[in-house]
Amino acid sequence: MRYLSIVLLALISFEMNAQELFVVTEPASNVPAGSIGVRVGQSLMKKEIGSGSVYNLSPEVTWGINKNLMVRGSVFSTNATNGLKAEGAGVYAKYRFFSVDDLQSHFRMAAFGRYSWNNLPIRQEAIDLTAGNSGYEAGLVATQLIKKVAISSSVSYGKATANKPDYEFPEFLASNVLNYTFSVGRLMHPKKYTSFKQTNINTMLEFVGQTLTDNGKSYLDVVPSVQFIINSQARIDVAYKKELYSSMLRSAPDGFYLKLEYTFFNVTK
């Protein structure tokens, strides 16, 4: 009976977390403690000026240090200049400081920070610390899960710096930024959870916005996506990002995402 209770609680816990693995935003929940996640993120974005597309490749490794703290390292590669090559790297950390858990719902809050290095020429007013800008970011995220639906929102302050060693940050561009996101996700399949081996299918709608606090320019994107979780360890994300509005120059705002991830559990325990 005790073993059955543990299994049921584990199944409920996984079902609750399944809708929180958003594609372009981060929830307040962390990866499992002691786990190592390996992800390959890819995007193909249509150039705003001229013809063609920009391909971005970002390998990532995430470590769940404990239930409240996780860290991630990323490498940024792009074909924006002279073929595909590594153009930068970044570190990200998230600390969950508040959690209220019930049987079929929970609410969580976390603080996060990011530091990135890039050596690409600075080609746009929008600030992107994952593809084009060096700098740092700090913020808060809150996530509410009720049964099969998760709602998450975040706000953060960021600062762009020089892309050393070759590119100083232009004096005529705004370097201070306010980022904000709102995401909703729902577990679509299975209707009834009976096994860890069942494939989960989640659908999501994410909104990603930014305001340059120096001059008030802003943009807002919408990102619909579908996600597959296979055998509780492998994950496939497919998404499309579309600019809803923008008052700033952006080099490649629209395009497709494909992310592949595999999690190794209980590696560091």
pLDDT in tens, 17-44: 445 789 999 999 999 999 999 999 999 9
Q: Looking up tokens 């993120």, which residue turns up? A: 41
Phi, psi dihedrals of residue 7, rounded to the nearest 5°: -60, -45
| CB-based contact 23:204 (threshold 8 Å) | yes
- Cβ-proximal residues to 211 (8 Å cutoff; 6+ apart), any chain: 177, 178, 180, 217, 218
pLDDT in tens, 136-162: 999 999 999 999 999 999 999 999 999
Which pTM does this prediction carry? 0.91
Query: In whole angstroms, how far apart are CA 25 and each of 143, 161, 253?
Result: 11, 23, 16
With 90 as the cut, is the pLDDT of residue 208 above it? yes
Q: Identify the band that residue 192 occupies on the pLDDT scale cut at 50, 70 and 90.
A: confident
Phi, psi dihedrals of residue 148, rounded to the nearest 5°: -100, 5
- What one-letter code names the amino acid at 187? L
**The CATH fold of domain 2-264:** Porin (2.40.160)
Coil/strand/helix, residue 236: strand
Tokens of 255: 């395009």
Q: Looking up tokens 């395009």, which residue turns up? A: 255
Provide the pLDDT for residue 103: 83
With 90 as the cut, is the pLDDT of residue 206 above it? yes
Residue 92 β-bridge partners: 72, 114
Q: How many CB atoms lie within 10 A of CB 98?
A: 12
In the chain, where are the structural domains located? 2-264
Tokens of 86: 């590594």
Average pLDDT value over all residues in the chain: 91
- Cβ-proximal residues to 44 (8 Å cutoff; 6+ apart), any chain: 53, 54, 55, 56, 255, 256
With 50 as the cut, is the pLDDT of residue 248 above it? yes
- In degrees, rounded to 5, the angle at the alpha carbon of residue 180 between the alpha carbons of residues 202 and 126 is 110
